[in-house]
Each structure stands twice: as C-alpha cells, then as structure tokens.
A and B are shown apart, each in its own frame.
Chain A
Amino acid sequence: MRGRPKLFTSYEADAAILPTSLQRWMVGGFVALLFLMPFDIPFLTGPVPRAFPDSWPILGGRFTILGSIPILQDGIPFVRFLGDSSWLRPMTEVFILAIAALGLNLLAGFAGQVSLGHAFFMGAGACTAAVMGGELGGTRWGWGLPIWIWLPASGIVAAAIGIAVGPAAVRLRGLYLAILTLGLVFIGIHLSRVFPQIAGDTEAGRRFPEFDIKLWREETPLINISSEDTVTGFFGLNTFEVSTEQKTYLFALVMVVIMTFLAKNIGRSRTGRAFQAIRDRDIAAEVMGVNEVKYKLIAFGISSFFAGIAGAMAASFLGTIAGNQWSLALSVEFIAILLIGGAGTTSGVLMGTFFVIILPELVEQVTEWLAERESGITGAIADLLLTDGGGNDFGPISEPSVAPGWALNVFDWNVVIFGVLIVVFLIFEPLGLFGIWIRVRNYWKGWPFSY
C-alpha cells in the first residue's frame, strides 16, 4: 500500500529486501553510480575550478564557493578515482573480496560457525579455475575451458570440498572448530607445494585464465575484457575508450550484485532462518526441528561456494598467485571484515569490505599526495605529518623512501590503525559499521521522539 510502509498484507511483502520505493530508488541509484564510476566524468576530476565556465548561463565567470577553498584548488583526492585507474583496481578488489566475505558471513555471521579456513576454499576455487581454464600443455595441467564453465565449476568444487570436510567440522564448535579450519589452511599450502602441476611454482604461481566471456573456445570472445576497445556511445553522441581495468571492474561489479542478491535471499529463506537458529542455540534449534548436521553442512557448502567463486576471480584478476598466498593472514582479514562491517548483516559486510580494502589505499594515497605538496596550507600539513629524513622533521609518518627510524611508515600505520579499529569496534559497536548505520537510521526513524 502506497505511503503505508508498515502495512504488510503478505509475508512476501514483510520479507522484501527493499520494501519501500524510496529504498528501491536509493539502492538502484547507488548501483547505477557504481556502474558509472569507472568512466571519466569531466567536472568531478582534477582540481575544482575557481570560477564557473564562461559558457554557463547566469553563473558563468562567477567564483565557485568550493573553488575558493585552498585545499580543493589542488584537486580532490577523494573523487579523483572516477576514471582514474589507480582507484579502479582497489575497487575491483573490494568487489571480489566482498563475494568471499559474503560467503563467510553466511557461515560465521548467520550459522555462527567460526572458520579460519576461508582462504583455503578460495585457493581451492583458484586452483580449479587454473586447471579448467588454464593454458594447455607444458608441465601445468590446463584444459582451456571458457569462463562460463570454469567460474561456476570453481565454486562447485570448493563447495564439494567444503561439504567433504563438513562432517568433521559439524562435530566441533567454537574454538575447536577454529583450530580445525586453521589446519585446512596449512594443508592447502602444503598441497600447493606437492602439486605444482595445479598451483604452479611455489613462489611465482602460475598464470590464471582471463575473464573473457567466450561462447565456446572461440577465437573471438563475446566480451573481450583483456583488450581495450572503443565503444560508440548512445546515438553516436560520444565515443570513448573502455580499458581492461574498466571492463574488469564492471564484470566484478555485476558478479557482486548477483552474489549479494543470492546471499541476501539465502539469509531470509528457510535455510537462513535455520542457520540463525543454530547460531543462537544449536540445541534449541534441534528441538524446534532444525536438522543441525544438514544445515551445518549446507552452511559450509554455500560459504565455500562463495569463497571458490571469489578465489577464481581474485586469481584471474591478479593474473598470478603463489600457492602460499592463500594463508592464515587472508582468513583473518575476512574475520576483520566481518567484525568491522557487522557479522550477520549483508550490507554491513559490503561496507566492511570496502572499509578494510579502501582505508589503507586512502591513507597511502593521501600521504603520497601530501608528500608532493611544497607550500601553502597543504604544504604546512605535510611538514607537520611527514618525515622525509631531513633535519628538523618530527612528523609521525615517514615516507617509504626514508630508512626505518623512530617514525613509522605508511604501511606500519595501516596495521596500527586496523588494530585500534578492531578493538574499538569490539568494545563500542559489536555490530560494526552496520550497527552505526542502524543507530543513525533509528535516530531519524524515531524523529521527533527517541522511541
């Protein structure tokens, strides 16, 4: 019913992902913005002009308010990534890791099974992709199959492995389960050494198949992601280049939209409710008729499927990955994503992934940008914060070129920031970024009351 968001006349409406038209518009708009992001939008890149273009009616030639702020005259680091390829790669990374994080969220956030073996399942997916889609011949196995076979297959193989190790995992809970899944990671790294035919060289890895979408072993792919094409815009108004990075970004975006929808739907289905029942109290869930073994296996299977897909995509995206990269550190990164984003919430996990991947990039980029400043206010800030090895320089951040001294470099700072953030989130907002969002939303929802 229009204008009555709380009047649910069916369970479908009650469980809708986006119940109100405002939400549909906002999410739709946001996704559209993400699709537009890799393309150059002229007025949002580079420094903010000090005056409006002369050709504009009325405003032409007048000073802009933003343009008179000194820091913005140098260019805006935050919006420059529209069309800037240096931001496209991290964003693509966000999308790919988000898929894996969504999988872990179903297992750990929904079903409450803490797993440190997520990297192992990603590795399993990557290896499947390498074997099925990799180059033929040589010392490496490779069947050269097209993407629409190897991408789903990598998910399915990972899921099969997940279900295979499931029975062992189902008998354990909490800390013991974490230790068991931790073991998987080391088994995985060991296997990658034993089978160089699959995983490639221990240090250098092997080449992974590309994203090109071919119908069947065609020479000319349907969508050729690895080449740079010229695309003719609508109605011949505009022609522009679409680079490999832009196409990879778009492909990853499409995938993340599909997988988010899938994860969200699993979460609100009977299966998802069974997961939550097991998480909240497994014995109570069994009393209510939830088959614990079955649903734990399903949780492992689905979570591994997501991890497999993400692993294949990550490997393909990076080109080469050594077997020992699927390590504990990666698994822990996913736990961090869940904690910071908000375990058990789909949108929280997306926010968490964005935050965890982009924050270090941002810190790095801002530091680099500051290091180039010589004068003015930004120069003064740079002097205050950065240590470039010169005499009277006491900034806490040292530039990468400077030898290790008392100041930490950018990478060390990133680690510190993360450590602090996780502690802060665990203490003050266990629901993560999603919890903050909920608080903000509830503040306005209750307006003008507090409840």
Chain B
Amino acid sequence: MSTDETGQGGAQAHEGAGEFQEPGLSGVPVQKLVQLITPAGERVSHPEFDLWVQDITDEQLCSLFEDMTVIRRIDVEATALQRQGELALWPPLLGQEAAQIGSGRSLRGDDFVFSSYRENGVAYCRGVDLTDLLRVWRGNASGGWDPYAINMATPQIIIGAQTLHATGYAMGIQNDGTDSVAVTYFGDGATSEGDVNEAMVFAASFQAPVVFFCTNNHWAISEPVRLQSHIQLADRAAGFGIPSLRVDGNDVLAVMAATRVALDRARRGGGPTFIEAVTYRMGPHTTADDPTRYRDANELEDWAAKDPISRVAALLERKGLLTSELQDHVRNSADTVAREMRKGCTTMPDPQPMDVFKHVYSAPNSWLDRQQDHYARYLASFGDPAGAVSEEGAR
C-alpha cells in the first residue's frame, strides 16, 4: 500500500486550490483539508476560515515566522546538545513548527495545555523557561516546570494519557463557570489508545470545553498512520459526536484558524472539537531512533517541499515583507534563544542524592522516611558520597 492510497501522503495533496477532496477508504466520507497558504507561499482564500485570521496583520505574520524559526532553532540546538552528551534524549519537532505555533499562539493565558513530549514549540508559546524545557531531557527531573506557572502540564510520556486529564480539567472549568479551555495535544499513534477514545466519550457526554489537537505527523516511531487507522483521523470524531476539522498542519494560518474555531466553540459552551493537523515528522522519533530503517527517502523529499517555514517566507516575500532587516532580526532572535538555552543547560545544577526521595508524598510517610534515613546513613559511611554509586564500588 502506498502512502497516497490512504489520502494522507502524496505531494499533490497540498498543491492547487485551498481545499480539495481526498480519496476515502471503506466508503467513509472524507473531510476537506483546510489550507490558507500553499507550499509555494500563495495565500488562497477560504470562505469560512479567512474570517478567523482576518485580524492577523503583516506584523503578526512576521511574528509567526519568527516564532517558527526560533523553535526550529531550539530544536536544532537541543539535538546538538544531545549529540554532544549534554542531553540524554531529545524528541525533535522538525517539520511540525506550524502546527505548534499556529495552535500555541491561539491560546489564552488562562487556557490549560496537556501535551505529549513533542510540543516543545507549544511550551515556548506558553512562555516556558528555556532551562526548564531541557531539565527532563538532561535527566535532572521527571518534569521540567511548574504547570501552574505557564498553564501547561509537563510533557506526558504515556501515549494519550493526557487527553483524559484535559477532559477532567475541562469538566472542572465547567463547574467553575469560566470560559477558559483545556487543550490536549497527541499524535496519530495515540488515536489508537483506549484513553484517547475514552476521553472523547467523556468530553462529548459532558460537552466539556476541550480541544483535541491531533498532530498527524504520519509516524508513531516506525509505524505509519495507515496502521492506526483506515479512515482519516478527523473522521473518527464523528463517531463520538464531536465536530472535527482537518487542516494542513504545515500551514500556520490554517492551523490558527482551526484552533480559533475550536476554542471559540468551547468558550461558548459548544463542547469539544477534534482537530487533525496533517503534517510530517521530518526527524527521528527521538535522537535514539533511526528512521532510515523504516521509511522512504522520497517521502521525506515530498514533505520537505511543503516546509511550514519556507512557505511563510515565500508569502512574506510575495508581500514584500521579507526584508534583510526582518531576516537579520529573526536570525538574531533564534541565535539568542539558542545561546541562552545552551547556557541554561550546561550550567544546570545537578540534583543532590537525597533529592531522589523528595515529593513522592506531600506529607511524611513512615516507609519512605525510614528508607531515606537509612540511605543517608549509608551515604554518610563514605568519605565521598559519589563513591557510593560508582560502578566499580568504593571499597
């Protein structure tokens, strides 16, 4: 089976008109893919979705271009840090910049994000401290930041588990009578998980203000999306009674429009929305992965031609906005962020041995207190506590 047969690959998918019909499977009706900027950088009009981004000024478009460039730089820098032994692991987001910035920049401060581990660009939009962004991947903590400081939960590693948290949080928003929204990010692989399906059942049942943002990057480590689903992912939502949108995930304006539609519906009491952002994981699953073992270089080439940043650059050029000043500014901005992040990473203080016991409970626990006491005595029995955990032993 080729990727094209699924209607989820194929170079033709993003060319031409702003929307088009893709072939369906199993006789299930398919959704039109929303696109506002073509891969060539042409702004195409859309009768419905234009309204949702008509307030975006040239200046804001430049800012989105800057954001996407910065998070790509963060991603490149973090990958380098991993290669240099400063990080244990990193999950690259290369290729998914529009999906993350278009949605992340649509949120309000009082919305709450429950994401997977790849939404580092969304975390950037939420204002995460750059050092905190790397804390987990350096092995210095299991969670990088205080979720309440940026209204974003720390990255979820169990696939799809966070969608339930978002739904419960949204039920809490309902009880509180406010109009904020819980937004959950997950991938195409996660749509097979029971938790994601249960989350949609609950969200629909309670009409909870939650947005299910599915980043279809075509790959769950080595498994292609066609292994997860024989229909377009967006079309699954109808079975739960949840309206869905299928957008070009490499089109920052289309993603923004779709996210705004979903957020607006949730704020008005209209319940959940499912967004499928069709994009591509240009890099490996993580720095520990080797995609050459399972995917075709031609496919990568096809998607490289649909790059989310290049198309905005092309659009800016058409509009006469891609000045050398802008390019310098964006480059400086990215370099500054990368420098700051690298410094934060390499100067991050190591956790202390006894920190291993911290925060398991919020109150004393006799079992753990005893183990902690015994381990402190054990460590104290070594002149240099580092010797206590060396592989060769210190005796």
A binds B: no
* B interface residue numbers (CB < 8 A to A): none
* A interface residue numbers (CB < 8 A to B): none
